[in-house]
Structure 1
Amino acid sequence: MDGDTTTEPDWGPFGRPLFDDASARALARVGVVDIGSNSVRLVVFNGAARSPAYFYNEKIMCALGAGMAETGRLNPEGRERALAALKRFRLLARGMELPPLTVVATAAMRDAEDGPEFRKQLESETGLKIHVIDGEEEARLSAQGVLLGWPGSYGLVCDIGGSSMELAEIHGGRVGKRMTSALGPLKFKDLEGGKKAREKYIRQTMAPLAQHMGAQRDRLFLVGGSWRAIARIDMERRGYPLHVLHEYRMDADAVRETVAFIEAADLDSLRHACGLSSSRMALVPYASEVLSQLIETFQPKDIAISSYGIREGLLFEQMPQELRDRDPLIEACRFAEKKDARMPGFGRTLYHFVLPLFPDAQPAQMRLMRAACLLHDVSWRAHPDYRAEVCFDYATRANLGGLKHHERIWLGLALLHRYRNKRHGTRFEELYDLLPPEAQTEAEVLGKAMRFGAMLWSVDAGQKNARLDWHPAQRRLRLNLSEELAPLYGEVTQARFKSLASALGSDNFDLQIEG
């Protein structure tokens, strides 16, 4: 199929249910196009249904909403660029053999006088069906995108585009109150009276949002390109070493300092330093004024950047509750193991094998341990000299949902030690300090335990014929092997066992053969 519309029953934006089978784990390629006020983007999802990977991602800055505040109409040049983008995306969809593209349009298309006419033109010239959604629906879908990455999360989702800003409350995995506003930078950046006039406009527009949404003192989730650009600038200001925007955290003080930093900076030099486009950077000063008032109004406990928004929300919309309730990190790791590991399924055995080394592990740490064991062998095709670095890169920079930054480093270190005894002397050392020393040691222990456990591939978890015993008080480590598997304890296995004991701070380790 080539992305054209079909005669299938109308199931909503997707035109068909994606997840009829609640147990589905694999997601066939599906494409979503978001026609925003500032950009038009195609994203093609693939992989684990609960935590999809980005098979293809292309954004074209069209600025459809530029000048609308004065004319009430879409930017003529933006119309041409958006039409060209959709024609290109339709052909790309055909080449990828995608099912019909899902195309949604937001503030610019719904507010412009010529929006309905342009929609008809797009549909006529591309054969695609365009779904123009209202502001509250946009808020709901953006919030559901956040829930894709943070199941069961709570707080306030704020999605800023070029021509609008949406708010939605989430609690316990559900979307609650929601509201849209005209706080997109394209709507007010050219107000007469300069900064004072803009600040007055923002305050007046924010007031009914606060009245409707009520007190929101939990986490603030920021969705949208302008927010991500501000977060990237915050990283630059702080010298923060991990340039992954999803789950990046700020607080109110950091926002204030970064807004002042932006006001004092040479914007052209700053955008080059941060890798931002000129069209995105042009909106950042105005978005930062909105963010300042947003923080002052709602006073959130903390602030998290979400790379997931309306496009991911469309996928979440199609998921049955059973699939929504799954852990996105574990589902992604299971998918990776099945696709890339030499012995899919061994990760579960390995997890149970290493678990006795962590008798006091809490659920959050056990979750990371499970993820590490599932991923322990997915990079085996890399050159042996680089496997450790490939593993660390994968964990810290890959599109894995449900991971805080310090958890990425912990997982990365564990996988690095799966293939390398020492973590010093790598190009990643500036990232290690995002973890306290005791957490670095825990990750090392897990990594060396996985490195050792991988020598026991023939172990069947059901038979329990290989077992680790660890007694922290006595610092005593023992490997229990059945007589049948005793030959597995060769020279390399012994060396790795010794390395594991050393990581545990033990020189009291031995092998017990069980008849």
Structure 2
Amino acid sequence: MTDATGETHDDYSPFGKPLFDDPLARALSRVGVIDVGSNSVRLVVFDGAARSPAYFFNEKVMCGLGRDFSQTGRLHPEGRVRALSAMKRFAALARGMGASPVVTVATAAMREAEDGPDFRAEVEAATGLRMWVVDGREEARLSAQGVLLGWPGAEGLVCDIGGSSMELARIADGRVGKRVTSALGPLRLQGVKGGRKGMKAEIKRVLAELVDTVGTDHKRLFLVGGSWRAIARIDMERRGYPLHVLHEYRMTTKAVQETLKYIESHDVADLRAQTGIGESRMSLVPLAALVLRQLVRAVQPREIAISSYGIREGMLYEQMPGRLRDRDPLIESCRFVEQKDARLPGFGRALYHFILPIFKGERESRRRIIRAACLLHDVSWRAHPDYRHEACFDNATRANLGGLTHPERVFLGLSLMHRYKNSRTGTRFEELIGILDAGQIAQAEVLGRAMRFGAMFSAETPNDLGKLDWFPKKKHLELRLTDTAQDLFGEVAQARFDSLVSALGATSEIKRLRPKARDDAPQV
């Protein structure tokens, strides 16, 4: 069934019915991934069957298995001891959390070290964990799949840098295309002869070969890996950027070059003090910076984006049923949160359709954020009333949500803040709100006040009781009420409606609406 906007309600177009109750989706409700890298060993347990799953557990140990590999060809002895200890702990933790399956994946250091097979057998004997050692092209594919987990429609080039290797993969149309691997990891570069000059020459030579396969002039370069995230964190510090969420952080090629100069001109200890980046990670940043400078010059991306999703998320994506992969991660995640935390699960959809006439001219990219806001409009109700608006803003801007740019995060947070509070003046979020332009701020306020009115007006499906009509050229808002809704439209609801009219800078009128038969009501 469709309404006046052309929306299909019985399948909640274009996303279909929520999948988190589907047995195939529930099978992924707690999945463990152990990533044995050249620099670190990490356990992540994903929880929640929404398209953008939550991190139930996340622990990393900086083992340095690939340290000194260029000189010895073997895993670092101390690194082996630390990695085995970490794996024993991770295996016990995963069992205790009921994570199933637990997939263990190992990359460059394990696949190339002379004693890699021995260590693999030692880990299996001690923990029962079977280690999947992937080659470079498979590592590139899994990392690219991690990016697709967060950006289903992503298009461009994925670059995943680890301690001992660097992979590139093209993505478009939801698929991974050409992919290549190289030895341009910072730990491996430490063994290049000729000092800094020799490293630059080697990086330039290898990248020229890689670019022959993956091409240049990409729409977007997605950076995956701890060294890239560290550089992005330094970029944030240099710019004074207020939102310290690395996922979906965007940089121009010019900004990247300026930050790389900034890194060159500052002592590593000073950079650590400014950013809080760990010593092991920061020690690799200067070498990673050399690679990034040449990478940007070689592939010539139009934009650079940081992805916190990589090989571990790619492993989860590998196990997702196809119809879950195709879903919008933002909408699925918001539905999951609403089902778990809202007072009236399902009301968010009804609220969306009730207020949609105000936004009927918006492009779909904005309407999906409006949809997400409606799904989240009531999930912070347990917070203290005096701080509920702050909890809403924090939850939206800091949440682990995929498919959401930084301006969209702030827009979502601001609209939810206005769901509970008319004024934003004097809040601690003014610097963050500055990420938006004046038009976006005004629209977020309208959305927040519209949700506030809709939620106060009716605890059921408000479309059965009233209808909003917005005439943008006349700047006129009409509310048509059924006879049965007259008692609901009390003075508090009237005040919320007037607040919405004020945010729109509009005139208003309240009319009578003939009630619909229940069978004709929109099925949301």
Same fold (TM over 0.5): yes
Deviations 1:31-64 (A, max 9, x none): 1100000000010101133111111111110000
Q: Which amino acid aligns with 1:510?
A: E
Residue 494 of structure 1: how far off its partner (Å): 1.1
User: What 5-or-longer segments of structure 1 have no aligned partner?
Assistant: 1-18
Residue 470 of structure 1: how far off its partner (Å): 1.6
Q: Does structure 1 retain, via aligned residues, the 8 Å contact 2:186–2:288?
A: yes
Q: Does structure 2 retain, via aligned residues, the 8 Å contact 1:233–1:274?
A: yes
Q: Which amino acid aligns with 2:234?
A: I
1:510 corresponding residue in structure 2? 509
| Pairing 1:479–2:489 present | no
Q: Does structure 2 retain, via aligned residues, the 8 Å contact 1:218–1:301?
A: yes
Residue 444 of structure 1: how far off its partner (Å): 0.4
2:490 corresponding residue in structure 1? 490
- Counterparts of 1:97 and 1:226, CA distance in 2: 32
- Secondary structure, counterpart of 2:32 in structure 1: strand
- Counterparts of 1:91 and 1:123, CA distance in 2: 13
Q: Which amino acid aligns with 1:509?
A: S
Residue 513 of structure 1: how far off its partner (Å): 2.9
1:441 corresponding residue in structure 2? 442
Residues 476/26 of structure 1: CA separation in 2 closer, same or farther (3 Å cut):
farther
Residue 485 of structure 1: how far off its partner (Å): 1.6
Q: Does structure 1 retain, via aligned residues, the 8 Å contact 2:179–2:214?
A: yes
Residues 25/419 of structure 1: CA separation in 2 closer, same or farther (3 Å cut):
farther
- Counterparts of 2:395 and 2:21, CA distance in 1: 31
Map 1:9-408; keep pairs closer than 5 Å. 24=25, 27-408=28-409
2:12 corresponding residue in structure 1? none
- Counterparts of 2:352 and 2:101, CA distance in 1: 41
Q: Does structure 2 retain, via aligned residues, the 8 Å contact 1:231–1:245?
A: yes
Q: Does structure 1 retain, via aligned residues, the 8 Å contact 2:28–2:320?
A: no
- Counterparts of 1:26 and 1:476, CA distance in 2: 50
Q: Structure 1 stretch 428-437 or stretch 316-325: which is displaced more? A: 316-325
- Secondary structure, counterpart of 2:486 in structure 1: helix
Q: Does structure 2 retain, via aligned residues, the 8 Å contact 1:155–1:216?
A: no
Q: Does structure 2 retain, via aligned residues, the 8 Å contact 1:26–1:49?
A: no
- Counterparts of 2:420 and 2:212, CA distance in 1: 55
- Counterparts of 1:301 and 1:421, CA distance in 2: 39
TM, length-normalised to structure 2:
0.92
Q: Which amino acid aligns with 1:476?
A: H
Q: Does structure 2 retain, via aligned residues, the 8 Å contact 1:164–1:183?
A: yes
How many corresponding residue pairs?
Answer: 496
Residues 122/194 of structure 1: CA separation in 2 closer, same or farther (3 Å cut):
same
Q: Does structure 2 retain, via aligned residues, the 8 Å contact 1:103–1:131?
A: yes
Residue 182 of structure 1: how far off its partner (Å): 0.2
- Secondary structure, counterpart of 2:56 in structure 1: strand
- Counterparts of 2:52 and 2:230, CA distance in 1: 24
1:500 corresponding residue in structure 2? 500
- Counterparts of 1:203 and 1:74, CA distance in 2: 27
Q: Which ranges of 4 or more aligned residues in structure 1 deviate by more than 4 Å?
A: 19-23
User: What 5-or-longer segments of structure 2 have no aligned partner?
Assistant: 1-19, 515-524
- Counterparts of 1:25 and 1:90, CA distance in 2: 22
- Secondary structure, counterpart of 1:222 in structure 2: strand
Q: Does structure 1 retain, via aligned residues, the 8 Å contact 2:137–2:167?
A: yes
Residue 21 of structure 1: how far off its partner (Å): 5.7
Residue 391 of structure 1: how far off its partner (Å): 0.6
What is the RMSD of the two structures over their aligned residues, measured on CA atoms?
Answer: 1.6
Q: Which amino acid aligns with 1:495?
A: A
Q: Which amino acid aligns with 1:467?
A: K
- Counterparts of 1:416 and 1:214, CA distance in 2: 44
Q: Structure 1 stretch 183-192 or stretch 419-428: which is displaced more? A: 183-192
Map 1:406-485; keep pairs closer than 5 Å. 406-460=407-461, 464-485=464-485
Q: Does structure 2 retain, via aligned residues, the 8 Å contact 1:26–1:47?
A: no
Residue 27 of structure 1: how far off its partner (Å): 3.7
Residue 206 of structure 1: how far off its partner (Å): 1.4
Residue 20 of structure 1: how far off its partner (Å): 12
- Counterparts of 2:434 and 2:498, CA distance in 1: 27
- Counterparts of 1:99 and 1:322, CA distance in 2: 21
TM, length-normalised to structure 1:
0.94
- Secondary structure, counterpart of 1:48 in structure 2: coil
2:15 corresponding residue in structure 1? none
Residue 390 of structure 1: how far off its partner (Å): 0.7
- Secondary structure, counterpart of 1:153 in structure 2: coil
Q: Does structure 1 retain, via aligned residues, the 8 Å contact 2:216–2:298?
A: no
Residue 472 of structure 1: how far off its partner (Å): 2.0
- Secondary structure, counterpart of 2:260 in structure 1: helix
Q: Does structure 1 retain, via aligned residues, the 8 Å contact 2:25–2:320?
A: no
Q: Which amino acid aligns with 1:247?
A: E
1:14 corresponding residue in structure 2? none
- Counterparts of 2:26 and 2:425, CA distance in 1: 38
